[in-house]
Amino acid sequence: MADRMSVLFDASKCTACQACSIACKQWNSLPAEKTTLTSSYQTHQTFTPQTWTFITFKEVWANNKMEWLFFKKQCMHCAEAACLKACNHDAISHTDKGFVVIDHEKCIGCGYCVTNCTFNVPRIHPKTNKAYKCTGCPERVSNGLKPACVQTCQPEALVYGTRDEIMAMAKNRLEKIKPLHPQAVLYDAPKLEGVNFTYILLREPEFYQLPNDPAVPVSVDIWKDFIRPFGGLAIAGAVLATTVGFIKTRGQTTEHDYASPKGKEVGKDE
């Protein structure tokens, strides 16, 4: 993927203004949804077919001061994408920029991508029976624009660039903020060959409910790399074997059926 692009979310710069969520809704014509008032400023608690990104708020009391820790959630656009591997209808693919998109013409709403997503992202719309999630704004990036959420982010907590630029930027930034945020880490999921939404986190991944070292489940790999490609052959083999067996058995049965009375006649010879 020569043109692989990425987004960096830098938690040390995010102010939780939530402009990114609104920009996503606006660009993708997604309607607003009712939220529940809780004791937190966090509005959305989870993804829906019409909410593809939102900010989580966590409050931590440490060293006699309150710290607010923010995190932007959306599809991570995994290079090794479990959703893509699990989809039996080739409805999920990578764009030439490396973002993961769902083709709604092909999607049948089976929910395999939902069940197998490493980060619990896609959601099935009950009316259309199709899976939905962040697209990475392909119609923008293919025209040289930034994704809508990145475009709107004023403190530059979201940055868009080539994969190499983003990784270099993330490593430099991490080094810079370490004295102030000693627990900060770079989150890029190497077992997924990287995620195209890369993060600088201010705490360990588990604090944000992220898997520490995510990988595509072995069962999904076996399904995609072995059962699907060879499944057709295996089924054809099984049908052939059954047919041959049936003919053979039928042949034997036929002989036996006719042989039996004959046998009795022949039995005279016994």
Please select the residue that binds ligand SF4; options are 8, 75, 101, 166, rule is CB under 6 A. 75
Other residues' Cβ atoms within 10 Å of the Cβ of residue 200: 24
Cα→Cα distances 203→11, 70, 94, 195, Å: 10, 11, 30, 18
Examine residue 220 and tell whether it contacts ligand SF4 (CB under 6 A). Answer: no
Alpha helices in the chain (DSSP H): 19-27, 82-86, 112-116, 138-141, 148-152, 163-177, 218-222, 228-267
Please select the residue that binds ligand SF4; options are 118, 166, 170, 201, rule is CB under 6 A. 118
Please select the residue that binds ligand SF4; options are 8, 69, 83, 210, rule is CB under 6 A. 83
Examine residue 107 and tell whether it contacts ligand SF4 (CB under 6 A). Answer: no
Examine residue 114 and tell whether it contacts ligand SF4 (CB under 6 A). Answer: no
The residue type at 216: V
Cα→Cα distances 250→235, 239, 241, 253, 258, Å: 22, 16, 14, 5, 12
The residue type at 228: R
Please select the residue that binds ligand SF4; options are 24, 184, 210, 220, rule is CB under 6 A. 24
Question: Least separation, in Å, of the C-beta of 249 and ligand SF4?
Answer: 47
Examine residue 95 and tell whether it contacts ligand SF4 (CB under 6 A). Answer: no
Examine residue 101 and tell whether it contacts ligand SF4 (CB under 6 A). Answer: no
The answer to whether residues 149 and 245 touch, using CB atoms and an 8 Å cutoff, is: no
Examine residue 148 and tell whether it contacts ligand SF4 (CB under 6 A). Answer: yes
Examine residue 153 and tell whether it contacts ligand SF4 (CB under 6 A). Answer: yes
Residues in the chain: 270
**For tokens 């402009």, what's the residue?**
19
Please select the residue that binds ligand SF4; options are 4, 72, 163, 173, rule is CB under 6 A. 72
Beta strand 123-124 pairing with 158-162: unpaired
The answer to whether residues 161 and 169 touch, using CB atoms and an 8 Å cutoff, is: yes
The Cβ-side half-sphere exposure at 121, using a 13 Å CA radius, reads: 25
Please select the residue that binds ligand SF4; options are 5, 117, 200, 201, rule is CB under 6 A. 117
Please select the residue that binds ligand SF4; options are 4, 5, 6, 20, rule is CB under 6 A. 20
Examine residue 201 and tell whether it contacts ligand SF4 (CB under 6 A). Answer: no
The Cβ-side half-sphere exposure at 45, using a 13 Å CA radius, reads: 7
Stretch near ligand SF4 under the rule CB under 6 A, chosen from 9-17, 39-47, 223-231, 237-245: 9-17
| Subset of 48-67 contacting ligand SF4 (CB under 6 A) | 52-53, 55
Interacting residue ranges for ligand SF4, rule: CB under 6 A: 14-20, 23-24, 27-28, 52-53, 55, 72, 74-78, 81-83, 100, 117-119, 121-122, 133-137, 147-149, 152-153, 155, 157-158
